[in-house]
Structure 1
Amino acid sequence: MQSMTGYGESHFSAEGVQIVCAARSLNSRFLDIELKFPEELAWFRAHAEDIIRARIGRGRVEVSLMSAAPLPADYTFNTDILAQYEKFLASKLGKKKVTLDAREYLHLPGFIERRVKNWRSYQTKFDFHLLRALIKMQRARIAEGRRTTRACLTHLRYLARVQRRIAVLHSQSHRKKLIAVRHRIYTDFFGTPPGDAGLTPNTGRGRGSAEHSRSVRDKVHVANLIWNERKEDILRSVHHDVSEEISRIGMHITRMLEIFKKQESAGRELEFFLQELQREANTIGAKAQDAEINSLTVIMKTEIERLREQVRNLE
């Protein structure tokens, strides 16, 4: 898995001038290419972009071709403009012909023309050094990607430990609340508290007491009364149950660990799971009524944000 930040360069000479081809990549959700070429090499832009797109899938890529000195150009004399100057002076001076001194030619605007040199014969050389700079940049991206992956795995394993701790605390806390609610319901419904387990009602099977031989209709009626009286307690216990959120966080962490093991470019998929982790953590923080769980949720959110910063740097 590669990082999206890297740098590489290649040096070469052409026409006696030292040229540096530098490639730099930065974070970006999409592939964004910026080329900084001198005017003489503008023809090479489209071809260079095709080479970059064939090797890079994501990130902002900046490629520049810089020379230590101005690139050499072809110079020619514009004899046509010289003839126009001489004709103009002859007409103004009333002479048939005026011949300018050779030393005065150099001061005439437009007499010396600078023409861009044709560098297309060096395309193979430009291709080679562009690829060389990109390869060096990609090596740097791979090395940085390995370091980033190790950091991400560290954050994920810590998140997994926090998730397991929250699961244990929630199980204990939620069970106590359920037992308390059921205790009140059983007492109202059966007239006696539940057994030691707190989960199995004492139905009074085999006893002849009228208290334990109510008709189904009476039981339904009493159940409705209990629902109306204990509705808030029952709904509160259900509302504060975050078992599903805790379980989903565990599944997301497992899936992300599997993605890192594949060593494939999956930055966008990881970002999706990070959004899901953040959403589940926010839900736990909003529902949980336990102080220790809330503290662990804050730690979890912090780790998710740190992990997000690392994942943003992965292709």
Structure 2
Amino acid sequence: MIKSMTGFASGTGEFGPHSWTWELRSVNGKGLDLRVRVPDWLTGLEAGLRATLSKSLSRGNVTLSMRISRDETLTELALNAAAMSAALEALQQTQDMAEAKGIALTPSKATDLLGLKGMMDAGSDSDDPAPLVAHLIKAFPALLGAFLQMRQTEGEALAEVLATQLDQVAALTAQAADLAEQRKDKMAEALRENLARVMENVQGADPERVAQELALIAVKADVTEEIDRLTAHVTAARDLLAQDGAVGRKLDFLMQEFNREANTLCSKAQSTDLTSVGLELKAVIDQMREQVQNVE
């Protein structure tokens, strides 16, 4: 089943003191164009996300944007052992000096020491982005999965539209074939009349040469090959719609072939009814080309 190049997904997450929101969106494009906007200090994150996206996508202008913040109140703190040791040593010296002079000091509380500047440090991993980067890369497939599901859903709807348009092309092609068949007797009679008229009014004309020229005109007006090619293109397009994977480029090329045959059919028509059918074909094919531009 085909996939659309249009997609969107958003998500949020938390890890330690960090929380983030990210969005993944895409529109159609000739190739795969990835734009990943993440904070520079998250070393290795962009490369990891790009690798994951490249494995899952074939075409489209894809943008991944991320906003991340840190709640300082949730930062894990650790005791600065060196600072505590120095504070205890200073406290002991103070008490010894006070006792030597007969001064009684109020006992110190642990909270008094912990409240001293520099006594508590942030956890050792607080400035290391590696754990956060690893968690983000692990969490990203959930966002990507929702994004791919939307592209799949859009692709299914797109396939239904294209299938309906292909049915229209097939019906119009069959109608053109009927009109071309009905036109044969009239064209043959017209050619005979033209040949007789030429032979009556042109002295010395070579009958064989004139017949060859009229036969050439008849060949140029024959639309059998165009109708056969249109029928074959409908079959090929239906086969592509049933395939998995990226078929957008093949469908786009096929639309060019559809358009070429419809143009030739109109130029050879020599019939109001057949020309009308050819113009209807061109209109439907143009609509198909617009839809195909969004197929991955």
**TMscore range, shorter length:** 0.7 to 0.9
Please give the residue correspondences for 1:1-315 in structure 2 after superposition, counting only pairs within 5 Å.
Answer: 1-41=2-42, 43-67=44-68, 69=69, 117-182=127-192, 225-315=206-296
Give 5+ residue unaligned stretches, structure 1: 74-115, 190-223
Shift of 1:238: 1.6
In the alignment, residue 141 of structure 1 is paired with which amino acid?
A: R
Give me the identity figure in percent.
26
Deviations 1:119-160 (A, max 9, x none): 111122111222111111000000000000000000000110
TM-score, length-scaled by structure 1: 0.69
How far apart, CA to CA, are the structure 2 residues paired with 1:149 and 1:276?
Answer: 19
Shift of 1:66: 1.2
In the alignment, residue 25 of structure 1 is paired with which amino acid?
A: S
After superposition, the Cα gap between the structure-2 partners of 1:62 and 1:71, relative to the gap in structure 1 and judged at 3 Å, is farther
In the alignment, residue 146 of structure 1 is paired with which amino acid?
A: E
Which one has more relative contact order, counting CA pairs under 8 Å at least 6 apart? 2
**Any conservation in 1 of the 2:34–2:50 contact (CA below 8 Å)?**
yes
Please report the RMSD computed on the Cα atoms of aligned residues, expressed in angstroms.
2.5
How far apart, CA to CA, are the structure 1 residues paired with 2:39 and 2:28?
Answer: 25
TM-score, length-scaled by structure 2: 0.73
How far apart, CA to CA, are the structure 2 residues paired with 1:188 and 1:28?
Answer: 58
**Any conservation in 1 of the 2:4–2:154 contact (CA below 8 Å)?**
yes
After superposition, the Cα gap between the structure-2 partners of 1:14 and 1:234, relative to the gap in structure 1 and judged at 3 Å, is same
After superposition, the Cα gap between the structure-2 partners of 1:71 and 1:286, relative to the gap in structure 1 and judged at 3 Å, is farther
Shift of 1:263: 4.1
After superposition, the Cα gap between the structure-2 partners of 1:57 and 1:295, relative to the gap in structure 1 and judged at 3 Å, is same
How far apart, CA to CA, are the structure 2 residues paired with 1:117 and 1:240?
Answer: 78
After superposition, the Cα gap between the structure-2 partners of 1:42 and 1:279, relative to the gap in structure 1 and judged at 3 Å, is farther
Partner of 1:289: helix, strand, or coil?
Answer: coil
Partner of 1:40: helix, strand, or coil?
Answer: coil
**Any conservation in 2 of the 1:10–1:130 contact (CA below 8 Å)?**
no
**Any conservation in 2 of the 1:10–1:129 contact (CA below 8 Å)?**
no
**Any conservation in 2 of the 1:7–1:25 contact (CA below 8 Å)?**
yes
11-20 or 143-152: which moved more?
Answer: 11-20
How far apart, CA to CA, are the structure 1 residues paired with 2:288 and 2:37?
Answer: 34
**Any conservation in 2 of the 1:242–1:288 contact (CA below 8 Å)?**
yes
**Any conservation in 2 of the 1:25–1:137 contact (CA below 8 Å)?**
no
**Any conservation in 1 of the 2:159–2:241 contact (CA below 8 Å)?**
yes
Corresponding residue for 2:84?
none
Partner of 1:143: helix, strand, or coil?
Answer: helix
**Any conservation in 1 of the 2:45–2:137 contact (CA below 8 Å)?**
no
Corresponding residue for 1:104?
none
After superposition, the Cα gap between the structure-2 partners of 1:184 and 1:287, relative to the gap in structure 1 and judged at 3 Å, is closer
After superposition, the Cα gap between the structure-2 partners of 1:290 and 1:140, relative to the gap in structure 1 and judged at 3 Å, is same
34-43 or 284-293: which moved more?
Answer: 34-43
**Any conservation in 2 of the 1:21–1:130 contact (CA below 8 Å)?**
no
Shift of 1:165: 0.4
Give 5+ residue unaligned stretches, structure 2: 76-125, 200-204
